[in-house]
Amino acid sequence: MKIQFDENGLLAGVAGRANGVTRSEYEAARPKALEALASFREKSQKDVGFPHLPFQKDVIDPVNQYVDSVHFDYDTVCVVGIGGSALGAWALDCGIRGPHPVQGAFTREHPRLVILDNIDPWFTAKALASMVPNKTLVLAIAKSGATAETVSTFLIVRNWLEEALGAEATGRIVAVTTLEKSGEGEYKSDLMKLAVSQGYRTLGVPENVGGRFSVLCPVGLLPAALIGIDIGKLLQGAAEMTRLSWLPDLAENIALRSAVWYWLIWKKKPIHVAFPYSSQLWGTAFWFRQLWAESLGKTRKREGKTENVGQTPVAALGATDQHSQVQLYIEGPNDKVFTFWKVENFGAAGAIPARKFGLDAVDYLAGQNLTDLIHAEQRATAAALSKNGRPHCTVTLERVDEEHLGAFLQMMEFQTAFMGELLGIDAFNQPGVEQGKLFTYGLMGRPEREQYKKEIEALEKKWAAAARRKPPKAGGNTTGAAERT
């Protein structure tokens, strides 16, 4: 397994003093980095479980046992989940088998993965119409067991399955949720309660593993294993990256080293562009967006002041988005840091035929290959960014296979955790998301959440009143444009 991090494009000598970081600044941050390593290690021994997942047989064995027990025919695995309960499965599927347009026909040996991660009714109806009930396995995934989007969609999918299969539907449904019980002995998760009452198979999400860090537990591993991905190799790569991520030597610990560079530059560059030059890593870029945004976008208080911290993550695909976004990146606001994800070996060279046609724009490519071209495109984009004072760095994977992908995902989870320590925030909560959930519960009539409906109705009245209020005049007898219209 070979993954490398190259920070040279972040240096002030490359991007300019106003945009980059000096080596001396990085060296001065080493003690802070080691403090972050020590403080996160302490947290991981108490409250944070993702570093331990590659080594926990009690988490992994139930996945293998269920996959071995599935003997009936299926060509579709339908995941009902949202956020961390869906993005990890997509990242694994896209990474190992590629985006759906290149996956070919779906069979028992090659099942497709359908992810219902949005409550768009048109999307849900079309997804159901595309699946055959007696060829489908349904995985309802929600750690809390109360996510409104997941529960509502699951009720629809469950009804669709039962109408077609009757009692046989029970054996085709798995609930992946927390198995923890309250002090009164009841399951904390309503999805778990439903599963027990209906006789569904259940797999557990560890209590100390948050949704966006759950790709290497049953949340991501179960759908991956059911579609034929070697989860043993995923975990093997993740285990090796875990070993490296606890090392105090920053030359070897690329998760900590990259976090330090991002920490040093984040105030200058509040936007972080993940730029994979690989279609296989496109799903991973969207998984990273949630990981970075929910973990690091926080409010903190220091020295009596309230600060809002975090980088806004953006996903761009190379070389595709050179033709849609790079114009902005080169000449637009210089508020971004770029991380290229480069793949050395694509498994196919993409040989370009050697025939020539007497055309300058065609003949120079004859006899070359797509691997060299995409590498040249990435180097050219990096050079253009540097020439215009735009800082960037590169993560290079030798190839995209289970071992490398497992290591890469684990690297970014460690990187995020270390970044949280350096920023002085809790990277594992999400209070901003919870506020929106409470408002939704109130509007949809969930018991004991009526006060949130009243609160949002009061806010909407306030906004409506503000919209009706006439704007002040621009000065003298001049009437503002908004008032004239």
Active site residues: 294, 323, 437
Q: Which two tokens stand for residue 370?
A: 């797509």
**Which residue has 């370009």 as its token pair?**
352
Strands 298-302 and 271-276: unpaired
> Which of 66, 51, 78 is CA-nearest to residue 210?
51
Distance CA 177, CA 62 (A): 13
CA trace torsion 166, 168, 171, 176 (10° rounding): -10
Q: Which positions ≥6 away from 422 have C-beta within 8 Å? A: 32, 33, 36, 259, 260, 263
Decide if 72 contacts 108 (C-beta within 8 A): no
- Phi-psi domain of 58 (left: phi exceeds 0; alpha: psi -120 through 50; beta: other): alpha
Strand partners, 348: none
Q: Which two tokens stand for residue 172?
A: 């085709």
SS3 59: helix
> Which of 197, 196, 179 is CA-nearest to residue 188?
179
Residue 339: its H or E element: strand 336-343
Decide if 94 contacts 210 (C-beta within 8 A): no
Largest distance between two CA atoms of the chain: 81
CA atoms within 13 A on the CB side of 39: 18
> Which of 28, 11, 27 is CA-nearest to residue 19?
11
Q: Amino acid letter at 72? A: F
Q: Residue 129 CB: number of other CB atoms within 10 A?
A: 8
